[in-house]
């Protein structure tokens, strides 16, 4: 289980711990869906903010034919966000799910970001003939992760005066039973390029729009405690970043930039496959039992610096938002 969680975290499919969520299905589809919504919401929100970053490292748009290819790494932190690491689970709100210790009493349990371990739950039918006990899933903090990682390759090309197009991509990667891929596109327009004296201005001002899609899949059929086939979780994250950027320019080696923007996005996580009757809370075979969605949006601001050494450049920035993100880029460019 730990191996799976660490693997998926490293490739940014942090919505998983799918085996633990799969265990909740013995309580019935409605209980499992309610738990999954609370468990996955903070992970989805952090991922939305994380993959929305890294669209620019200057406000100075590239001239016609200028290009830059970048490897961008994001670390979206949640170390001090205790309110995102746990949620209050009240058995009274569930039809069949309860705690082994102090049944009937509400208590805090881990979200996908949390570290509350060893919480035992059970489901039992009215006759007492059926009882299933299992441990509720923990989150990334329990694996000593205090951040949600993401990364991708990005390319930028200058077109007509002041306009720059961007694309980002992570080829479909597969590790054991997990898959992940990412793509996106963006535009940047440098308003100062319209001014007659733009080449001697000490600063540049741009507007940036960027769209990102992250999609992943994790097959847990072999780990499931419920009979069935093709049991898996699929996730899709779609985000938009709208920003205004200001940067210094015409300094030979190092320049500074900052921006303020608005991030908005949505995640859709689908639990798919066939789940055979395995207790009193499944009246029949269940196919594609449920989906959970999460929306997130908010204002963001960042400050960064870019070091240019010929074709080679590096940049680093810190973005302040609901989930703050540190971004580091390695860039190769011309003009």
The SS3 call for residue 137 is coil
**Which pLDDT tens digit goes with each residue over 64-101?**
999 999 999 999 999 889 999 999 999 999 988 999 99
pLDDT in tens, 175-209: 777 788 999 999 999 999 888 766 778 899 999 99
- Give the per-residue pLDDT at 19: 55
Q: To the nearest whole number, what is the mean pLDDT of the chain?
A: 87
Percent of the chain at pLDDT > 70 equals 89
pLDDT at 12: 38
Tell me, what's the pLDDT at 164? 97
What is the rounded average pLDDT of the residues 7-29? Answer: 57
DSSP code string of 58-97:
-SS---TT-EEEEEEEEEEE-TT-HHHHEEEE-GGGSSS-
pLDDT for residue 161 = 86
Tokens of 104: 């009937």
Where do the DSSP E strands lie in the chain? Answer: 67-77, 86-89, 98-99, 107-110, 120-124, 131-135, 147-158, 163-175, 178-190, 203-219, 228-248, 254-275, 286-287, 290-309, 312-320, 325-334
Using pLDDT thresholds of 50, 70 and 90, give the confidence band for residue 60: very high
5 pLDDT tier (thresholds 50, 70, 90)? very low
11, pLDDT greater than 70: no
Q: What is the pLDDT of residues 133-167, one digit of tens each?
A: 888 988 888 878 888 888 899 999 999 889 999 99
pTM above threshold 0.85: yes
Using the predicted structure, report yes or no on whether residue 253 has a pLDDT greater than 80: yes
β-partners of residue 307 are: 254, 314
Residue with tokens 């303020």: 260
Dist. CA 33–CA 24, nearest whole Å: 9
Q: Could you read off the pLDDT of 290-325 as tens digits, one per residue?
A: 899 999 999 999 999 999 988 899 999 999 999 999
Residue 282: pLDDT band (50, 70, 90) is low
CA angle 249, 255, 259 (to 5 degrees): 85
């Amino acid at each position: 289980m730990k191996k799976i969680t660490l693997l998926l975290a490293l490739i940014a499919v942090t919505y998983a711990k799918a085996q633990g969520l799969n265990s909740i299905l013995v309580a019935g589809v409605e209980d499992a869906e309610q738990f999954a919504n609370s468990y996955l919401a903070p992970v989805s929100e952090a991922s939305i903010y994380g993959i929305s970053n890294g669209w620019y490292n200057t406000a100075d748009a590239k001239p016609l034919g200028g290009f830059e290819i970048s490897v961008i790494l994001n670390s979206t932190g949640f170390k001090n966000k205790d309110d995102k690491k746990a949620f209050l689970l009240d058995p009274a709100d569930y039809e069949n799910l309860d705690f082994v210790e102090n049944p009937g009493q509400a208590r805090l349990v881990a979200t996908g970001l949390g570290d509350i371990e060893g919480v035992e739950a059970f489901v039992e039918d009215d006759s007492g003939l059926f009882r299933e006990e299992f441990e509720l899933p923990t989150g990334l903090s329990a694996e000593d992760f205090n951040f949600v990682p993401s990364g991708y390759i990005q390319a930028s090309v200058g077109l007509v005066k002041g306009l720059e197009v961007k694309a980002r991509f992570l080829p479909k990667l597969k590790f054991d039973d997990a898959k992940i891929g990412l793509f996106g596109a963006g535009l940047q327009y440098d308003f100062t390029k319209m001014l007659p004296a733009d080449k001697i201005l000490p600063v540049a001002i741009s507007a940036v729009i960027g769209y990102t899609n992250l999609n992943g899949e994790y097959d847990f059929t072999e780990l499931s405690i419920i009979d069935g086939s093709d049991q898996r979780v699929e996730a899709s994250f779609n985000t938009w970043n709208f920003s205004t950027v200001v940067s210094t320019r015409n300094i030979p080696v190092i320049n500074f930039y900052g921006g303020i923007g608005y991030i908005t996005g949505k995640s859709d996580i689908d639990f798919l496959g066939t789940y055979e009757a395995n207790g009193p809370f499944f009246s029949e075979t269940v196919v594609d039992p449920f989906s959970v969605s999460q929306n997130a949006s908010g204002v963001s601001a960042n400050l960064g610096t870019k070091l240019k050494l010929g074709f080679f450049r590096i940049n680093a920035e810190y973005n302040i938002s609901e989930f703050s993100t540190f971004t580091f880029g390695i860039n190769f460019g011309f003009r």
